[in-house]
Amino acid sequence: MSSSRKPVHHAVYDTFADWETGHATAYLARAGYEIRTVGPSREPVTSIGGLRIQPAYVLDGVRPSESSLLILPGADLWDACDDLAPFARKAREFLDAGTPVAAICGATAGLAREGLLDDRDHTGAVSFYLAATGYQGGGRYVEADAVTDGNLITAGPTEPVAFAREVFRLLGVYEGEVLDAWYRLFHDSDPEAYAVLEKAR
């Protein structure tokens, strides 16, 4: 990994949706980013899919100045209780410092409750899902697969590929026709896109 490239921090917590961020983390790692898992503690957590992961880092110790991006996956816990509220507060700390945050599925509701979507364009599962949080940002909701507003990326649970596309665009991992080809390959199974990616290697 380039010494000038800061790691990407990936939040992990019980019931996190393990399928939502795999495209993003796999290709960030291939691009040379170190992926650091961050939990509420160092105790192991279990994903919705039954994957048991021991976080490498604890949330309280993560600093925006030492990160390229904070990824927040969805999880049942986002809507079941307030246990994940500290991750939304950490997202505020990142955004206030100018460090990007990418949230998908239930994590968008966590950001809504924290007030982080009131003044930013965003998307999520459906508009009424976020409206149920009582947030004030309904007028900024966008019907799109994924949305980037400044340093914040949001996406719904059915859009892991679009979510990854926005991450790559924001961090400059892929650009232009290469970014478009990556998306078409993984979203549309377009064989012509594969040829573009091979040529770009």
Q: pLDDT at residue 1 above 70? A: no
115: left (phi over 0), alpha (psi -120 to 50) or beta: left
For the chain, the distance separating the N- and C-terminal CA atoms, rounded to the nearest angstrom, is: 17
Residues tagged active-site: 105
Q: Is the confidence at residue 188, as pLDDT, over 90?
A: yes
> Quick one: pLDDT at residue 200?
84
Residue 76 near residue 84 (C-beta atoms within 8 A): no
Q: For residue 76, what pLDDT is reported?
A: 96
Each residue of 45-91: pLDDT tens digit? 999 999 999 999 999 999 999 999 999 999 999 999 999 999 999 99
Q: Reply yes or no on whether the pLDDT at 3 is more than 70.
A: no
Write the pLDDT tens digit of every residue in 17-46: 999 999 999 999 999 999 999 999 999 999
With a cut of 70, say whether residue 12 has pLDDT above it.
yes
State the DSSP H helix or E strand holding residue 10, giving kind and residue range, or none if neither: strand 8-11
The whole-number pLDDT of residue 190 equals 94
> How many angstroms from the chain centroid is the CA of residue 50?
20
Percent residues over pLDDT 90 in the chain: 94
**Sorting pLDDT into bands at 50, 70 and 90, what band is 2?**
very low
**Does residue 57 contact residue 28 with C-beta atoms inside 8 Å?**
no
Residue 106: pLDDT band (50, 70, 90) is: very high
CA angle 66, 26, 194 (to 5 degrees): 130
